[in-house]
Structure 1
Amino acid sequence: MLLLGSGSFWGCGYIRYLIPLNPTAATATTPPTHAGWNTIVKQYVNQQGLVNYRGLRTDSLALNAYIQDLGSHMPSKSWTDNDRLAYWINAYNAYTVQLIVRNYPVKSIKDLGGDKIFVNTPWDKHFIHLGGQAYSLNDIEHRIIRKQFKDNRIHLALVCAAMSCPRLRNEAYTGPSLTAQLDDQGRDFLNNPAKNKLTPIDKPQVSAIFSFYPKDFTKNGSKSVQEFVNRYATTKINPSATLRYLTYNWALNEQ
């Protein structure tokens, strides 16, 4: 999770995240069913999106098998945009969970650090192997998903293993269901008082995610953060409300 809204993160080590990536299979493939991930999250993720990492650690072979399946079904140009986006969201979340499982017990993903001298975060670890190349979580989020799809709802679907993240959905994303799933994530996230406090409506306290990526929320059907919030919130805030941002809780999203 590269905090692009902060100027302090624009060092030479992050210039690479401006360069798009579009890894695809050498030959046409069909989208995976994501059945493996679906089984995992139904068993180890509850309705609040909290993960039973201790239990999953004893069943890591299932997680590894799903990740191998991702490598065998790289996106093809013949896929729909929704199939490709569902693939990359599931991949990001599965690899994040794998990173935690490999290092469990851990109090926060931020405790894991990185593998570089100047770019030292867990999101910069090149531990993701797909199509013979190594990628980081930041590669998937910023060089693939944000560059290719321009859909601000992805920020409510990508889960960084922290309590302030959106809930980890306990079903896999799939191309045919993706639009409904992302809209459901929006309603769940915006109406959760632990993530967003929308009253008073002229000075709401919203998730720091909206400060991490402010420009993203002025695209894709909304002209402002306030307008995006009101797309999904039951309690509507003032269109010109002064936004305050909740402190991000990086504690592990653990049951």
Structure 2
Amino acid sequence: MLKQFLLVSAICFATQTSAKLDTLPEEFSDFSLDRDITISYDDLDMLLDMTVIDLGRSDRRFRKSKANIGTRMRAHKNNDTALEANRFFYEEVTTSKLKEGFHKVRVSLEKVPDQVPLNALVLDEQLAYWLNLYTTALLEKLIEHYPVIDTQELLFGEQSILDEEFIHVAGYQLSLNDIQHNIVFKKFGKNKPIVMYGFHQGNIGSPNLRKEAYKGSEVYHQLVENGEEFVNSNRGMQVRGNNKLYLSLYYKQVEALFDDYENQLKNHIEDYTEGDLKNSVELADNFQLSIDDWGINDLYRTERTFGASTATNRAALLNAVASASGDVGVGAVNSSYISDAFMERTVEFGRFPPEVWEKLKQLNTKRKENRGSVKIKDLDANQE
């Protein structure tokens, strides 16, 4: 009969400085089989629920270039993608104390390894942790730089926010690209390329920003939802002419997830395509990466409407969505929904459910005694 034991060996935590991530360290590469330890994201759930507008699945409609009577709209070159993707209340968040909430949550998430080593978590919990840390840190940076209309230079220019090493986890100095490419893609992506849909980039043309945090028990279901939404939208995939397949430029960023990139990516798109386009996708001989929309996914600047109750298209209704959802949108500007007490509770001890604390105490006691990292080994009961 086999019995699991937690064996502890050396761990070093940073004090004042952090090391750069050159290779995937043991703290990030190992994992546990013990599902008793789960991380709570109640604070991030609350923030995202208040600041993200869910526009639902794409109906593949194109926005008309001419607005209805009484309505003027900001020009948008991507009329095929302008009505898609969830929106974020950048306009309201950047002028309220809510922006501090994203910073506090990011700092709180950075402290998780001080309470429990990441390799004491099962893989699903680890993946949810990295995706939530990435999302929170990205939004924090975008809020810092807002207003911005086109995100391409901000993301991929000489001073890219994706390369900025401002995240500190378990003694390592990380960038957003480190989390995406050097941790998640390397550790999870080869077996499950669906992880690509967990990396929203602040623009309409990227995978969706969810209205909730990722959860360890649901993370792959959430990623599949993101994948289905993205592939079946104009910004993810289009078929034109004689079964000519066009895909998002975002798929160029995930090339490392596929050994046989062109064939495997096309198979992936075929698997996720729904409805009438499925047969056309299957018949396409190849694809072209050409779809993009770098416009920031804010609520007003991309799709601003002015005094038009007669407007009927989906973009023109964005203002109505904001007005009708005071509890989760504009009404959140006073930031009273997230009290300082709640934020402090999360930073200090609210990241783990109460029933987990006794286990964490025991784990941390062993870690201090042995100064080690956690590994899982199966030992025969006779070896006790």
TM-score after normalising by structure 1: 0.80
Contact 1:32–1:70 (Cα < 8 Å) also in 2: no
Summarize the Cα distance change of 1:248–1:83 in structure 2 as closer, same or farther, 3 Å threshold. same
**Among 151, 154, 160, which residue is 1:121 paired with?**
160
- Indicate whether 1:84 and 2:126 are aligned: yes
- Give the superposed CA RMSD: 2.8
- Indicate whether 1:94 and 2:94 are aligned: no
Structure 1: which 5+ residue stretches go unaligned?
1-15
- Indicate whether 1:40 and 2:47 are aligned: yes
Q: What is residue 176 of structure 1 aligned with on the other side?
A: 217
CA offsets, 1:96-153, max 9 Å, x none? 10001112212234444799xxx64221111112334321111111111111112311
Contact 2:245–2:284 (Cα < 8 Å) also in 1: no
Residue 199 (structure 1) shift: 4.8
Residue 253 (structure 1) shift: 1.6
Residue 41 (structure 1) shift: 1.2
- Indicate whether 1:159 and 2:223 are aligned: no
Taking the aligned partners of 1:193 and 1:73, their CA distance within structure 2 comes to 38
Structure 2: which 5+ residue stretches go unaligned?
1-19, 55-84, 300-384
Secondary structure of residue in 1 paired with 2:207:
coil
Taking the aligned partners of 1:82 and 1:141, their CA distance within structure 2 comes to 16
Summarize the Cα distance change of 1:193–1:230 in structure 2 as closer, same or farther, 3 Å threshold. same
**Among 236, 244, 249, which residue is 1:203 paired with?**
244
Task: Report sequence identity in percent.
Answer: 20
Q: What is residue 4 of structure 1 aligned with on the other side?
A: none
Q: Which has the higher strand share?
A: 2
Taking the aligned partners of 1:35 and 1:232, their CA distance within structure 2 comes to 31
Secondary structure of residue in 2 paired with 1:159:
coil
Summarize the Cα distance change of 1:213–1:111 in structure 2 as closer, same or farther, 3 Å threshold. closer
Residue 215 (structure 1) shift: 4.5
Residue 218 (structure 1) shift: 4.8
Residue 214 (structure 1) shift: 3.0
- Indicate whether 1:63 and 2:70 are aligned: no
Residue 187 (structure 1) shift: 0.8
Q: What is residue 230 of structure 1 aligned with on the other side?
A: 270
CA offsets, 1:7-56, max 9 Å, x none? xxxxxxxxx987335555xxx99442111111111111111321111222
Larger RCO: Structure 1 or Structure 2 (Cα < 8 Å, ≥ 6 residues apart)? 2
Summarize the Cα distance change of 1:17–1:244 in structure 2 as closer, same or farther, 3 Å threshold. farther
Secondary structure of residue in 2 paired with 1:41:
helix
Taking the aligned partners of 1:80 and 1:239, their CA distance within structure 2 comes to 40
Q: What is residue 285 of structure 2 aligned with on the other side?
A: 241
2:219 corresponds to which letter in structure 1?
Answer: L
CA offsets, 1:192-246, max 9 Å, x none? 1233213557321111122333342458xx9611110122110321266220222
Q: Tell which structure's C-alpha radius of gyration is larger.
A: 2
Taking the aligned partners of 1:70 and 1:76, their CA distance within structure 2 comes to 11
1:163 corresponds to which letter in structure 2?
Answer: I
**Among 292, 295, 304, which residue is 1:251 paired with?**
295
Secondary structure of residue in 2 paired with 1:163:
coil
Summarize the Cα distance change of 1:201–1:249 in structure 2 as closer, same or farther, 3 Å threshold. same
Taking the aligned partners of 2:294 and 2:154, their CA distance within structure 1 comes to 12
Q: What is residue 20 of structure 1 aligned with on the other side?
A: 24
Q: What is residue 53 of structure 1 aligned with on the other side?
A: 90
Contact 1:201–1:241 (Cα < 8 Å) also in 2: no
Summarize the Cα distance change of 1:124–1:84 in structure 2 as closer, same or farther, 3 Å threshold. same
Secondary structure of residue in 2 paired with 1:124:
coil
Q: What is residue 176 of structure 2 aligned with on the other side?
A: 137
Contact 1:227–1:239 (Cα < 8 Å) also in 2: no
Residue 61 (structure 1) shift: 2.4
Residue 157 (structure 1) shift: 1.6
Further displaced range: 239-248 or 61-70 = 239-248
